[in-house]
Amino acid sequence: MSGGGSDLWSRARAVIPGGVSSPVRAFRAVGGEPFFVARGEGAHLVATDGSRYVDWVQSWGASILGHAHPAVIEAVQRAAADGTSYGAPTAREVELAEAICARVPSVDKVRLVSSGTEAAATAVRLARGATGRPKLLKFAGCYHGHVDALLAEAGSGVATLGLPGSAGVPAATVADTVVAPYNAPASILDDVFANHGAELAAVLVEPVAANMGLVAPVDGFLDGLRRRCDEHGALLVLDEVITGFRLGLAGAQGRFGVRPDLTLLGKVVGGGLPLAAVGGRADLMGELAPDGPVYQAGTLSGNPLATAAGLAVLAQLDDAAFETLETTAVALADGLRDALAGADVPAQVTRVGTLVGVTFAPEVVRDYDAAQASDTTAYAAWFHALLDAGVFVAPSAFETLFPSLAHTPSEIERTVDASARVAAAGLAAASLSSRG
């Protein structure tokens, strides 16, 4: 189960905090120790001991084509031969920006950065600079990267580790952050806007929440935010780091018909290399340096390898690709729903377009309170049963499954069969103690 990484694991813990470069990778929420990846091949990961895993993590959604897709590898190799970074403009940055603007109607201009966190931090400064207002509204369970002002009640690793936010964030830094429940009813949103609306620079939201399991927006939630932002002069920022180029070419905003002022992109758009973006209305983007007074910069921004990978991925994503992805997601979700139907712990399998979520809860999860009340021990039992069967899902109950274009019915079958076996054997009885 350790994937042959034990020696690497002790070396890692000696020199890297927790042994990992990002917390959830450490398996703390599910117990045991992580395997070390030697390489990825399409829908699979190969560990350093040669074990193969069907991979539904896919770099947390970055690899929509599957690992080591030939078009991406070739593009990156060709780009690398010309040098890895210049700190000066390149044609590919322009081409990638054009490709993004052509696909996402609300994006007139886009600034390339290196991570989703950076995109969120840029959007926060831009929104405050453009509006001259201090406050931010975010929603419990939504994760926007590890930006100080946005860690309050964040999902993802913050939820996994049960942290209320983070040490090292001064009270003053979050004094202007207002947190409301995801999918909050109109009465709560009316109150929030009545109290804070005139001071709100931005409302930031994951249009589909994918960092507390997978939680769909209820009817009217996103429209209601758009309307209230217009009424109160706040900017609507959709964090499409996960949903962008994942729920379709125009992301969740295309799917749900809501037009944000600013959009955060990451993951898919970088093709598995460090690239993310913030884009939106031309007048707002004009506030960014050097056109405007809001400073933002990056040594590796618009990196030649990352833009090459992003362009290679976008070239593969057309309507047919999204139909294929959705077919895979439907088969996976339906199979898992059947497999887990008779389990001793009730499971909710959610699907929004091409994304799938599994949460052990008695009812469909609509908000962070319900997500946090879900049975994480049952999730850990499911996780380990799958891992033992050679299937890797996120090592935390608060994440999502990411079908790629490389997944086929055989990977779905293996995942569903292993789920049916553990459901029959009993999830509630499984103990974490044997996993260390």
The residues that bridge with 179 in the sheet, in sequence order, are: 138
CA distance 338 to 361: 16
Q: Which member of 27, 143, 360, 402 binds ligand PMP (CB under 6 A)?
A: 143
If the CB atoms of residues 114 and 376 are measured against ligand PMP, the closer one turns out to be: 114
Q: Decide: is 116 part of the binding site for ligand PMP (CB under 6 A).
A: yes
> CA distances (Å), 354 to each of 35, 146, 243, 294, 331, in order?
27, 26, 9, 36, 11
The angle, 0 to 180 degrees and rounded to 10, between the axes of the packed helices 409-425 and 319-341 is: 20
Q: Decide: is 280 part of the binding site for ligand PMP (CB under 6 A).
A: no
Q: Which member of 2, 63, 106, 115 binds ligand PMP (CB under 6 A)?
A: 115
CA distance 284 to 297: 16
If the CB atoms of residues 206 and 411 are measured against ligand PMP, the closer one turns out to be: 206
Q: Decide: is 253 part of the binding site for ligand PMP (CB under 6 A).
A: no
Q: Which member of 51, 59, 117, 404 binds ligand PMP (CB under 6 A)?
A: 117
Q: Which among 11-19, 115-123, 347-355, 378-386 is the span making contact with ligand PMP, rule CB under 6 A?
A: 115-123
Q: Which member of 211, 253, 296, 301 binds ligand PMP (CB under 6 A)?
A: 211
SS3 148: helix
Q: Decide: is 241 part of the binding site for ligand PMP (CB under 6 A).
A: yes
Q: Which member of 144, 337, 366, 384 binds ligand PMP (CB under 6 A)?
A: 144
If the CB atoms of residues 17 and 233 are measured against ligand PMP, the closer one turns out to be: 17
Q: Which residues contact 6 (CB under 8 A, 6 or more apart)?
A: 33
> CA distances (Å), 272 to each of 148, 329, 379, in order?
25, 21, 27
Active site residue 291: no
**Which listed residue (176, 239, 261, 367) is catalytic?**
239
CA distance 267 to 244: 8
The CA dihedral of 366, 245, 103, 295, to the nearest 10 degrees, is 80
Q: Which among 65-73, 139-147, 254-262, 368-376 is the span making contact with ligand PMP, rule CB under 6 A?
A: 139-147
Q: Which member of 276, 358, 394, 401 binds ligand PMP (CB under 6 A)?
A: 276
Q: One-letter amino acid identity for 204? A: L
**Which listed residue (53, 143, 182, 379) is catalytic?**
143
Least Å from the CB of residue 242 to ligand PMP: 5
If the CB atoms of residues 59 and 377 are measured against ligand PMP, the closer one turns out to be: 59
> CA distances (Å), 318 to each of 107, 194, 432, in order?
19, 43, 43
Least Å from the CB of residue 260 to ligand PMP: 14
Active site residue 267: yes
Q: Please state whether beta strands 200-205 and 135-140 pair in parallel, antiparallel, or not at all (unpaired).
A: parallel
Q: Decide: is 60 part of the binding site for ligand PMP (CB under 6 A).
A: yes
SS3 156: helix
E strand residue ranges, 332-420: 348-352, 355-359, 391-392
Q: Which among 138-146, 285-293, 337-345, 428-436 is the span making contact with ligand PMP, rule CB under 6 A?
A: 138-146
| Maximum pairwise Cα distance, the chain | 62
Least Å from the CB of residue 58 to ligand PMP: 12
CA distance 250 to 435: 42
CA distance 411 to 391: 8
If the CB atoms of residues 5 and 116 are measured against ligand PMP, the closer one turns out to be: 116
Q: Please, where are the H alpha helices in 346-391?
A: 368-372, 376-388
If the CB atoms of residues 63 and 156 are measured against ligand PMP, the closer one turns out to be: 156
If the CB atoms of residues 120 and 225 are measured against ligand PMP, the closer one turns out to be: 120
CA distance 306 to 353: 26
If the CB atoms of residues 4 and 165 are measured against ligand PMP, the closer one turns out to be: 165
Q: Decide: is 328 part of the binding site for ligand PMP (CB under 6 A).
A: no
Active site residue 135: no
Q: Decide: is 206 part of the binding site for ligand PMP (CB under 6 A).
A: yes
Q: Which member of 242, 277, 332, 401 binds ligand PMP (CB under 6 A)?
A: 242
CA distance 31 to 380: 8
CA distance 303 to 84: 7
Q: Which member of 66, 141, 260, 266 binds ligand PMP (CB under 6 A)?
A: 266
Binding site for ligand PMP (CB under 6 A): 60, 115-117, 120, 143-145, 156, 206, 211, 239, 241-242, 266, 276
Q: Which residues are catalytic?
A: 143, 239, 267
